[in-house]
Structure 1
């Protein structure tokens, strides 16, 4: 199924990778310009924090927990395996697992402390990039590629895509709103996720035949390249 879906264009992949590298360099250099950008947005986002909005943001950030992203990926992979799309199932788990490792490595490289003010939910660990955002972007792309793209109605497809985009935006907003991340952390996570997905799609195409040789022996041509 995945090979029949449009991949992330090279232009977007390289642009995302460049923007992530730029933000990483700015964080490592303790850029005053980046800090002004971050604090300016934080002050706007946290200017008014009514109880009901805070409760919604807490719910959003809980649903988007990285540990739950693993659960979501396992469920998606199980459905794909049941559909006898076994290379796709393996790729889904490998992409999320490998992505988590990549994001962790960059956290250790950046070693950026969390914001020190107005933390609604105390967080530990380093701040850059946002694990919640990174996982949310990967899961949304999985859903679009594997399921939304299979809906016959173009209108329903568009509605689903809009809802999923709104979800990613809410996750990014919630992390800043709750004081868990700087805005640059969530933007960096988005860019990293897009770049990583492009790499993962390239690896999928490169190693598809090798993996399929072992797991697609009874797929009855479902993964034909033609």
Structure 2
């Protein structure tokens, strides 16, 4: 019985610890980036990438980037989120998945606003037509797109679709996330460091929501209270080997 319990407990706890480790690392990088916002290194990083992007400017690429940036806009991600929730409900009746997804999307929007007001960074340029208003750091498009498309990758990976389909979707969605972030810097809506920070913050929040979902589903599946089970396991071992 102990071996079965240890097997049930070990994998999710290892995954949880790895996930929390990654979250801690990304959070540390984000905080350091925020503290060094006006440092010479950050300014050099931003200016070098902006100068490079300027060399790529063409009228055709401008229109492509305007289209791509809309794929990370609030109205588009909100519309697509509604479709995802409906799909999760009618196809799988996945209450835990719906809850985690809504929390991820809604919470991500709230966190973005809080961070923007905290760091109070101005934009490279103001352009309401491409949703370039308000504060700049971190990029809401970058953070929102990473949360939405990243969560979509997770949901597809958990589905019963074939591996080639899963890999193709993951690669395309990841590339789209990158393009959305790039479009924000190309169009002058954000500094490159805003985009990078948005990806970091989005990844941290998305990972937290996915870990919470996996933890809840695991507890529901095995009907185990992990911390109580671990305590009982140690108590049982102590009673079996009191001399140790």
TM-score normalized by the length of structure 1: 0.82
Q: Is the 8 A contact 2:126 2:189 kept in 1?
A: no
Q: How many residues align?
A: 208
Q: Please, which moves more after superposition, 63-72 or 112-121?
A: 112-121
Match of 1:53 in 2: 61
Q: Which residue of 2 aligns with 1:219?
A: none
Task: Flag the 1:90–1:130 CA change in 2: closer, same or farther, 3 A.
Answer: same
Shift of 1:121: 4.4
How has the CA–CA distance of structure 1 residues 55 and 154 changed in structure 2, closer, same or farther, with 3 Å as cutoff?
same
Identify the residue that residue 103 of structure 2 maps to in structure 1.
Answer: 94
Contiguous gaps of at least 5 residues in structure 1: 211-222
CA shift, 1:119, in A, is: 10
CA contact (8 A) 1:120 1:178 kept: no
Tell me, which stretches of 5 or more residues in structure 2 are unaligned? 1-11, 224-244
Alignment of 1:139-218 (within 5 A): 139-204=148-213
Q: Write the distance in 1 (CA, Å) between the matches of 2:208 and 2:103.
A: 12
Distance 1:61 1:194 in 2: 19
Structure with greater proportional helix content = 2
**How far apart are 1:73 and its partner, in Å?**
1.6
Task: Provide the aligned C-alpha RMSD in A.
Answer: 2.6
Judged with a 3 Å threshold, the aligned counterparts in structure 2 of structure 1 residues 139 and 116 are, in CA distance, closer, same or farther, namely closer
CA contact (8 A) 1:119 1:179 kept: no
Q: Name 1:217's counterpart in structure 2.
A: none
Please give the TM-score of this superposition, normalised by the length of structure 2: 0.76
SS in 2 for 1:195: helix
Output the CA distance in 2 between the equivalents of 1:208 and 1:62.
34
Aligned equivalent of 1:224: 221
Instruction: Give 2:33's aligned residue.
Output: 23
Displacement of 1:153 after TM fit? 2.5
Cα distance in 2 for residues equivalent to 1:87 and 1:111: 35
1:119/1:178 contact within 8 Å kept: no
1:122-133 matches, cutoff 5 A: 123-133=132-142
Q: 1:181 to 1:197 in 2, by over 3 A?
A: same
Farther-moved stretch of structure 1 (140-149 vs 7-16): 7-16
Q: What per-residue deviation string (whole Å, max 9, x for no partner) do you get for residues 162-206 of structure 1?
A: 111110111011000000000000100101011112222344356
**d(CA) in 1 for partners of 2:169 and 2:70?**
21
Local SS of the residue matching 1:9: helix
Question: What's 2:49 paired with?
Answer: 41
2:110 aligned with 1:113? no
